Amino acid sequence: MRSALEGIRVIDFGQYVAAPLAAMMLCDSGADVIRIDPPGGPRWDHPSNAILQRGKRSIVLDLHNASDLDVARRLVQSADVAIEGFRPGVMKRIGLGPLEMTDANQRLIYCSIPGFGEDDPRAALAGWEGIVCTAAGIYDPPSFAGYFKKGEGPVYTALPLASSYAAFIAVHSIVAALIARERCGRGQRIEVPLFDACFEMMGVAAQSIVGKPQSAPPLKINMAAIGRYQCADGRWIDLSPPLRGFKWFAEKFLPKEANKSGLTDIFQPDPERVQRLRTLLTEVFKTRSAVEWERVANLQAGNGIAACQTTAEWLRDDHARDSGCVISVGDPELGPTSQAGYPASLSETPMRAKGPRHPLSSDRESILADISSGDTRQTLKTGEAVLPLAGIRVLDTTQILAGPTACRILAEYGADVIKINNPRFENPMATMAHLYVNNGKRSILLDLKSPLGRSVVERLVESADVFHQNFSLGTAEKLGLGETDLRRLRPDIIYSSINCHAEGGYRATYRGHEELGQAVTGMQVRAGADKVPERAGWPLCDFSTGHLSAFAILLALFHRMKTGEGQRVQAALSRSGTFLQIPFMIDYAGHAWDEPRGQDAKGWGALHRFYKSSDKWFFLAAHQEGDLDRLAKVTGLESINATPTNDLELLLESRFQSATAEEWTVKLNSAGMSACVLVNYEESMESLLVKQRRLSVVRHHPEIGDVRNVGSPAKLSRTPLVPLFGAPPLGRHAREILNEVGYGNQFEELIAAGIVNSGPTN
C-alpha cells in the first residue's frame, strides 16, 4: 500500500527518546529513515529501542573521525529531513549544525529537539527528563476542582512526558515544513525544546484571566459519579463524567428509592448526597468484574466506564491489537515482542512498521551506495515562503479539549479554521477551555440537525479541505455528515475523527474522556502503584491526541498535494495513552516491569531523583559515569562517593538539608551535573524567562478581557507559527461566514428560526 511519506529520506542522529521517537513515527509513515549511531550503539541501552529503531536502516559513524564525519555530512546533503536531540551547539561544533546543513542542502528540513532551546540561558544544561519537567512545573500538577489528588511534595513519573510531547510536536512541524517546501521549494530549521513542549501538557490548567485571581470553577456535579471503584474481581474501573448514560445506569442497577428520591441526580453536588451515592456505587460495583462492568455500561447505556488495566494487560488487549494500538514485531535481540503500534490511522496511506530494528550498521553498504549515486536534492523552486496551510479551510465541529486542539494547531500553520457549535450549546466562555483551544478560529453557532442548517454546512464543505469531528460513532451519519455524505460534495476532503478509543476494535463505539484513555492503557495503575489507580494531574491524553490528530491531518494533506486524493484519518485517546508510555510499551519473554510508580515516587534512584533542601525541593541528575566522583568534590558532599550504595540516598537527604535548593543547584550545575529547583505551573507561567520565550502569552478576548495562555513551543525559521487571536465570542463570525457561502441574504431568517445564533455582537 502507499505511504504518506514515500520517497522522503530522514537522517536520525537522535538518542534516548524524543528524536528517535519522532524519526520512528516518520518511518512508520513511509519515510526512509537512516539511523546514525556512535560506535558501540545507542547511548541508551534499553528494550524500548526495539520500538524506537524499528524499520530504520542502520549505520555506525564516529563523528569525531574525519572520514565518518564526511559520510554523515553527505548523508544530510542527500536528505529531506535531519533530526537531532543534542544540546544546542553540539552539532555546530562538528560542522553538522542547522545553519551549515540548510545552507549546504537548501531543501533540507533540519529539526533540533534539545532539552532547552538555543536562546535559553540554560541551553548548556543537560536536558534530562526530570530536569526539564521540574523546570517547567510538570511535577507539581494542579488539582482540577478537587478532581485529581496531589501528593505530598512533587509527584515524579517515569513516563517521558516532555520527550513524548516534543516528539509529537516535532513530527507535525516537520510535515508542515514539507508542505511549505512543496509550495516554495525550500526547507527550513525547526527547534522543539523539551522544556517548551511541556507547556502543551498544561494547556487550560495554566491559563488565567489577567488581573483576576486564578481559580477553577466549581463542578456542579455529584462527584461520586466520577472516580474509581473496585469490582468483584479486585480490579478497578474508572467512571468517567457520565452526562448521558448515568440515568440509565442508575435506573438499571441502583435501588428504586434512590432514583425516586433524586439521589441519583448527578447535578446535585450536596456533600451528603455525594457520600450516599458513593456508598451505593461502592456496593454495586462489587457485584461484577471490571471487564463485565466496562462492557455492560458502554454497550447498553453509552456510559463512560473503563477497566483500569496494567500496561502489560494493554499489550495483550484484544482491542489494542485489533485497532493497531499494539502490534507484534520479531526483534533480532528480544525475539517476539508486543509493542506500541501506530499513533493514528489513515485510510489510504496507513502507517505500518517496515520491520524490526536492523542490527547495528547492517545497512552500511547500501547507505554508502546511496550517497555515491550523487543525489544531493538541490532542485529549488523560486518564490517567497508560504505558510504551510495558507488557503486551507478547516471545519471544526469538535468539543472539549482533544478535537479543538488539533484545529488550533492547524490555525497556527495558517489554516482558516471555522468552529461550528450548536446554537443552544451552553456558552463555554464561562469555562477556561474555550479561551485556549479555540484561539485563532472563526466562530458560527449552527444547528446541524435542521435541514437548512445542514445545507449551510454542505455549502461550507464544498469549500473546505478538512472536516473534523468527534461525534460518537454513527452520529455523523445520522446527521448526514458522514464521510460518504461529505465526499459526494468534496471528493478530496480530509475527513478527520477523534474518539476515546481507536477504530478497529470492540471499544470503538465506547464513549469516553481523558480518564478512560489513561485507564485502559495502564497509566492510572502506574500512577496509583499498589493502591487505588490515580489519574494524572494533567489532561495528557487529550492534548497529545490533539497533536497526533494534527500530525495525521497534515500527513493526509501532504499526500493530497502529490496525488489529489483525500482520505479518512482518526486519532484516539487510547492511542495517545500508548505513545505517552513508549519506554514501557513493550513485552517479550523475560521482561521485568520495574520503574518508579505511585504518588510517592521521587525518582529512579539516589542519583536521579527529587531531594528536599532546607527550603524547597530540587531535582538532581547525577547518574552518568563519573558523576558520583564529581559529587564528592562539591562542598558539603565530601566523601559521598565512599558511601555504600544502600545508604547513599539517606545520606544525601541529610546533607541536602544544610542549604537552600538554589544554593545546591548552583553548586551542582557548576560541578558538571544537572540540578533544578522545583517550580509549580503557576510560577512557571509568570516567570520572565517563560514570557520572553513566548510560552506564556496574553491574548485579548472581547467578553473576558486579557487572558494569559500557553504559547507555541515550535520554532520554524521560514514559516513561523501564526500568532493566534483570542478565541472569539461564540457566533461572532456568523454573518461573514454565511456571506462567504451564499447564505448571507438568509441571515435574519436563520436567526429567527433558531438555526443560527449570532452571539452577543452580530
Q: How far apart are CA 265 and CA 258, in angstroms?
A: 9
pLDDT at 13: 98
- Kindly state the average pLDDT of the residues 383-402: 92
Q: How far apart are CA 216 and CA 666, in angstroms?
A: 35
Band of pLDDT at residue 145, cut at 50, 70 and 90 = very low
pLDDT at 593: 79
pLDDT at 372: 81
Read off the amino acid at residue 533.
Answer: P
Considering only residues 143 and 747, tell me which one the structure prediction assigns the higher pLDDT.
747
Please, are residues 561 and 492 in contact by the beta-carbon 8 Å criterion?
A: no
Please, are residues 446 and 456 in contact by the beta-carbon 8 Å criterion?
A: yes
Residue-by-residue DSSP string for 36-48? EE-TTS-SS--TT
Percent pLDDT > 90 in the chain is 75
Percent pLDDT > 70 in the chain is 93
pLDDT at 217: 58
- Kindly state the average pLDDT of the residues 347-373: 94
Band of pLDDT at residue 428, cut at 50, 70 and 90 = very low
pLDDT at 450: 92
DSSP H or E stretch at residue 603: strand 603-605
Is residue 758 scored above 80 in pLDDT?
no
63-122 residue pLDDT tens: 999 999 999 999 999 999 999 999 999 999 999 999 999 999 999 999 999 999 999 999
Q: How far apart are CA 397 and CA 355, in angstroms?
A: 37
Q: Order the strands of the 305-307 sheet from edge to edge.
A: 227-230, 236-239, 305-307
Q: 284 Cβ partners below 8 Å, 6+ apart?
A: 253, 254
Beta-strand (E) ranges in 52-134? 57-60, 81-84, 109-112
Band of pLDDT at residue 667, cut at 50, 70 and 90 = very high
Band of pLDDT at residue 592, cut at 50, 70 and 90 = confident
Q: 573 Cβ partners below 8 Å, 6+ apart?
A: 402, 499, 500, 501, 512, 513, 514, 516, 517, 541, 542, 545
Side-chain-side CA neighbours of residue 725 (13 Å): 10
Q: Count Cβ atoms within 10 A of the Cβ of residue 187 and give its class: 0-12 exposed, 13-18 middle, 19 or more buried.
A: buried
Is residue 430 scored above 50 in pLDDT?
no
The residues facing 236 across adjacent strands are 230
Cβ-count burial 349-372 (b if 16+ within 10 Å, e if not): bbbbbbebbbebbebeeebeebbe
pLDDT at 320: 97
Considering only residues 23 and 381, tell me which one the structure prediction assigns the higher pLDDT.
23
Is residue 379 scored above 60 in pLDDT?
no
pLDDT at 206: 87
pLDDT at 429: 43
Look-up of cell digits 502569552? 697
- Kindly state the average pLDDT of the residues 186-207: 94
Band of pLDDT at residue 382, cut at 50, 70 and 90 = low
Please, are residues 151 and 158 in contact by the beta-carbon 8 Å criterion?
A: no
Considering only residues 688 and 473, tell me which one the structure prediction assigns the higher pLDDT.
688
- Kindly state the average pLDDT of the residues 34-41: 95
pLDDT at 537: 81
- Kindly state the average pLDDT of the residues 388-404: 95
Phi, psi of 148 (to 5 degrees): -120, 150
334-352 residue pLDDT tens: 999 999 999 999 999 999 9
439-467 residue pLDDT tens: 999 999 999 999 999 999 999 999 999 99
pLDDT at 4: 96
pLDDT, averaged across the chain: 91
Q: Order the strands of the 81-84 sheet from edge to edge.
A: 57-60, 32-37, 9-12, 81-84, 109-112, 188-191, 715-716
pLDDT at 219: 65
| Helix boundaries (H) for 304-401 | 311-315, 318-323, 364-372
670-682 residue pLDDT tens: 999 999 999 988 8
- Kindly state the average pLDDT of the residues 735-749: 93
272-324 residue pLDDT tens: 989 999 999 999 999 999 999 998 887 776 667 899 999 999 999 999 999 99
pLDDT at 378: 53
pLDDT at 1: 63
Is residue 41 scored above 50 in pLDDT?
yes
C-alpha cell at 5: 511519506
Read off the amino acid at residue 260.
Answer: K
Query: Which range is least confidently modeled, 106-110, 374-378, 604-608, 668-672?
Result: 374-378
**Torsion over CA: 55, 61, 63, 68 (sign):** negative
Residue 389 CA: distances (Å) to CA of 197, 413, 417, 441: 22, 6, 10, 14
Torsion of CA 12, 695, 139, 616, to 10 degrees: 120
pLDDT at 612: 96
| Helix boundaries (H) for 354-489 | 364-372, 402-412, 434-437, 451-462, 475-478, 483-489
Is residue 212 scored above 80 in pLDDT?
no
Most confident of 322-326, 596-600, 741-745: 322-326
pLDDT at 377: 54
pLDDT at 231: 96
* pTM value > 0.85: yes
Phi-psi region of 7 (alpha: psi -120 to 50; beta: other; left: phi over 0): left
Is residue 725 scored above 70 in pLDDT?
yes
Separate counts of helices (H) and strands (E) for the chain? 31, 28
Q: How far apart are CA 242 and CA 302, in angstroms?
A: 9
Q: How far apart are CA 41 and CA 36, in angstroms?
A: 9
Cβ-count burial 671-703 (b if 16+ within 10 Å, e if not): bebbbbbbbebbebbebeebeebebbbebebeb
Q: Order the strands of the 674-677 sheet from edge to edge.
A: 603-605, 608-612, 617-621, 674-677
Band of pLDDT at residue 239, cut at 50, 70 and 90 = confident
pLDDT at 188: 97
154-180 residue pLDDT tens: 989 999 999 999 999 999 999 999 999
Instruction: Specify the CATH number for 603-677; select among 3.30.1540.10, 2.10.210.10, 3.60.150.10, 2.40.40.20.
Output: 3.30.1540.10
Phi, psi of 576 (to 5 degrees): -65, -40
608-652 residue pLDDT tens: 999 999 999 999 999 989 999 999 999 999 989 888 888 999 999
Please tell me what DSSP assigns to residue 300. I
pLDDT at 371: 86
Is residue 11 scored above 80 in pLDDT?
yes
pLDDT at 36: 97
Pairing assessment for the beta strands 494-499 and 466-469 based on DSSP bridges: parallel
Is residue 761 scored above 80 in pLDDT?
no
- Kindly state the average pLDDT of the residues 389-415: 96
CA-based R_g, the chain, Å: 26
The distance in angstroms from the start CA to the end CA of the chain is 49
Length of the chain: 762
Q: How far apart are CA 327 and CA 351, in angstroms?
A: 12
pLDDT at 619: 97
pLDDT at 216: 56
Side-chain-side CA neighbours of residue 615 (13 Å): 9
Considering only residues 510 and 319, tell me which one the structure prediction assigns the higher pLDDT.
319
